[in-house]
Homo-oligomer: A and B are copies of this chain.
Amino acid sequence: MNKRIRFLILGIILLLFATGAAFGQETDTAKTLKLYSQAFDMIWLVLTAALVMFMQAGFAMVEAGLTRAKNAGNILMKNLLDFSVGVVAYWAVGWAIMYGADSLGLFGTNQFFLAGATSSTFRDWMFQVVFAATGATIASGAMAERTKFSAYLVYSVFITALIYPVSGHWIWASDGWLAKLGFHDFAGSTVVHSVGAWAGLAGAILIGPRKGKYIKVDGKTSVKAIPGHNIPLAALGVFILWFGWYGFNPGSTLSGTDLGIAHVAVTTTLAAGTGAIGAMVISWIWFGKPDPSMTMNGALAGLVAITAPCGVATPLGAVIIGLVAGLIVVASVELFDKVFKIDDPVGAVSVHGIAGVWGTLAVGLFGATSDHLGLFYGGGFHQLGVQALGVVAVFAWVFGISMLLFGVLKKVMGLRVSEQEEIQGLDIGEHGMESYPSFQIFQNQ
C-alpha cells in the first residue's frame, strides 16, 4: 500500500513538473505571439508608409506634366522640398501637435522632437509623416507656375508643423473633438486631401491667376486653356498615385493582422476605376471627346473620395462613390476655371477638395457597418450630419489660417514671382536652369 502511495506521489510530482514546464513554454509562446503581433504591424506600416511616400513622385509627375515646360524644374523642386522640409517640421513639431497629450480636444502638447519615442512611436510617426507630406504637397499644384519658391518653403513648414496637425488631431487623435463626435475619415479624404486643397485654394485666390489665363476683350473675360507640357509624365504620376494608394488606404487599418485589409483594397480599386470612367464619359459628352487630363483627374477623384469610406462602404457603394466623384470633378474643374475664375493649373482643389468633401459625406450615405450606418442603409441622418460638421470645421480652420498665412507672406516677402520671370519661366528665374536644355521649346508656352 505504502509503495502504491509513494508511486502515486511520485506520479503527481512528475506531473507537477510537466505541467510547470508546459506553463513555462506557454509563457514563451505568449511572448513570441506578442512579438509577432508587433512584427505584423511593424512591417505592414513601414511598407505601406513607403508606398505612401512614393506618392510624392506621383504628385511631382502629375504637377510637372500638367504645367508648362518652362516651370517644370520649379514645381519639382517644390515637391521635393515640401517633403524634405515637411519631414523635419513634422518631427520637431507636427507630430506633437497631432498626437501629443490632448488639450481640450483641439491639439496635442508633448512629444516634440519625438521625445520619449519607443519602437512603436517610430513606427507610427513613419506612417503619419508621409500623410502629412501628402497633404502639404497638394497646394503646390493649385499655386503652380507663379508662386515664389521661398514663400512656398515657408508655407511647407507651417502646413506640416501646425495647420495639418491641428485638424488631424481633431479627427485622428482619440481625444480629438471630432473623433469623439463619431466623425469617420478612414484614411484622410478630409484629414489629408481636403486640408491640402483648402490651403491651395487660399493660395490660388490670394496669388491670382497666371498671366494670360483670363484675358479681357471688349469687357468680356475669355478663359484660355493652358495645356500641360508632358502628358506621359502626368499619366505616369496617376499610375504611381494609384499604386501608392494601396499603402494609403489599406495601410490605414494601422494593423497588419486586420483581416479587413483586402476589403479596403477592393473598394479603393473599384472607386478609382469608376472615377476614371465617370470623368471620361462626362468629358466625352460635354467636350465631344474623352479628355485625358479630365479622365486622369477622375481616377484621382475616385481615389480621394473612397479614402474616407473605404472601410465602411460595400463594393457596390464604392462603384457609385467613385463614379459620382468622376462626374463631380469635371464639373468642379469647369466651375472653378470658368465661373469662379480661380486659376488652379492642375485641378487640385477639385480633385482633393471637392472630391474629398464628397467622399467624407459618402460615409454618411454609404456606410454599411453597424458603427457607421449611412442614410442609404437605414442609418438616418446622424452620421451624415457629423460628417458635414467635420467638413465645415476643417474648411473653416484650414482655409482661414491659410488665408492669414499667405496674406502675411504676401505682405512680408511677396507670394508671386515678377511678371518678367513668369513669362520667362520659373526655372530660369528661380533656379537659373532649364529643365529641357536640349529640346526646342515653343516660346509661347
Contacts and interface: CB of A to CB of B under 8 A. Distances in A.
Interface of A: 1, 4-5, 8-9, 11-12, 15-16, 18-19, 22-23, 25-26, 29-30, 32-33, 35-36, 38-40, 42-47, 49-51, 53-54, 56-57, 60-61, 64-65, 68-70, 72-73, 76-77, 79-81, 83-88, 91, 113-114, 117, 119-120, 122-123, 125-126, 129, 149, 227-233, 235-236, 238-240, 242-243, 246-247, 250, 256-257, 259-263, 265-266, 269-270, 272-277, 280, 287-293, 295-296, 299, 315-316, 319, 427, 430-442, 445
28 contacts: A5-B5, A11-B16, A12-B15, A19-B22, A25-B30, A29-B29, A43-B43, A45-B262, A47-B47, A49-B265, A50-B51, A72-B232, A77-B292, A77-B295, A79-B235, A81-B280, A86-B273, A91-B270, A91-B315, A113-B316, A117-B315, A119-B263, A126-B262, A126-B265, A227-B437, A288-B432, A289-B431, A436-B439
Nearest to A74: B292
Q: How many copies does the complex hold?
A: 3
Given A12-B12, A53-B269, A87-B272, 15 more contacts: A15-B15, A39-B259, A47-B246, A64-B232, A72-B231, A76-B232, A84-B274, A84-B280, A117-B315, A119-B262, A123-B261, A231-B427, A232-B233, A438-B442, A438-B445
A107 to B, nearest CB: 22
A123 B264 CA distance: 10
Given A40-B39, A119-B262, A296-B80, A435 B232 contact: yes
Nearest to A85: B277
A239 B56 contact: yes
